[in-house]
Amino acid sequence: MSEKPVISSNGRYTWPVAFLAAVALTSVLAWAFWPRGQHRVSLGGGSGVVQVVSVSPDGMTIAAAGESPTIRIWDVATNSTRFTLEGHSAKVTGLAFSPDGQWLATCSFDHSVRLWKVASGTQATAIDAAKKSVECVAFSPDSKTLASAGGDTTIQLWSVPDGKPVRVIKRHTRRIQSLAFLPDGKTLASAGDDGLIQLTNWHTSAPIGTIATDKHRVRELAISADGTKIAAALSGTGLRWWNLASRTELAKFEAAGGALAIAFDRSAVRMASAHEDGTVRIWSVVDGGAIRTFKGHHGPVFGIGFSSDGKALISAGADGTVKVWDLP
């Protein structure tokens, strides 16, 4: 089943706009309201491409970035820009809120990682993280450690908030595109162009295990909230997910258009995927079946995330829009 947002003919809307996230050198934000809580935000002027998006743990703040080095922080309650963060000198490649909601980590093609205070929008730390681009960041479950990785094939661990180096982990031979901490407090998952998902004890750098993806590049990883499953968006072959304890494959979908981003909801019952063909899809984690396909983006969808209550899905695309989809 597919759904496409349609403008209400009676001019009334079931819900007010709940989320807004967009970034670019833009002069106009045009709002359009959609029925049953489905909304679209359109960018006017400038590039308008939204490539990375992150939702705070409480669902009240959204960070988004596009082709420029600028990051915008949006307040959900007021539907307005809270802060514009400037500090990177090149395109922003990754965003992550800390689990305690106090920090936002950003990384960029400028080889740096920056740590921002969410409450004030001020920069706490700038880290010269690598000799090559940094493409992903992730916080440990206790929010006290930040991991970064990218083109130099190593994983760097930093203390929060001072940004002091903690440890370097070497498990990959090619570019790393995604990092994800498990809720067990000891395991870090990493993956990228070498087609391997590496599980590492980040306290000791000791290997825990490896999941092979048949040599497919991994674009993004996601861990279920209960820590029992790991999913991967794979270049050219859709997505897969595995049982983490046994590292056995649970489901495999060669989805049309290829998956670019994935996310579990907090119940670990559903998973969402964003695709090159402009679709957003919902899957059942229980039986691996397809639940729903949303069509509305024009062009690839780069970012995706569930609201904190699981009632909405946020997607960000190359068409310069961030959409919020109502979920049953």
Bridge partners, 188 (sequence order): 181, 200
State percent of the chain over pLDDT 90.
49
Least confident of 44-48, 100-104, 158-162, 246-250: 44-48
What average pLDDT is seen over the chain?
A: 81
Contact by Cβ (8 Å): 319, 297: yes
| pLDDT 10s digits, 143-181 | 999 999 999 999 999 999 999 999 999 999 999 999 999
Q: Chain-centre distance of CA 150, in angstroms?
A: 15
Neighbours of 6 (CB within 10 A): 11
pLDDT at position 177 = 94
Tell me, what's the pLDDT at 123? 96
Predicted pLDDT of residue 317: 81
pLDDT of residue 58: 80
Average pLDDT over residues 29-51: 43
Q: Mean pLDDT over residues 125-154, rounded?
A: 93
DSSP state string for 57-109:
TTSSEEEEEESSS-EEEEETTTTEEEEEE---SS-EEEEEE-TTSSEEEEEET
- pLDDT above 60: residue 273: yes
For residue 8, the model assigns a pLDDT of 24
The verdict on pTM exceeding 0.85 is no
Q: Are 276 and 284 in contact (CB under 8 A)?
A: no
What pLDDT is stored for residue 256 in this prediction?
Answer: 52
Confidence at residue 136, expressed as pLDDT on a 0 to 100 scale: 95
- For 298-327, the pLDDT digits (tens) are 888 888 888 878 888 888 788 877 787 888
Q: Where does the pLDDT of residue 227 fall: very low under 50, low under 70, confident under 90, or very high at 90 and above? A: very high
Angle (CA) 219 41 83, round 5°: 80
Residue 85: CB atoms within 10 Å = 21
Rounded CA separation 318/22 (Å): 11
Q: Please give the structure tokens belonging to residue 87.
A: 């500090």
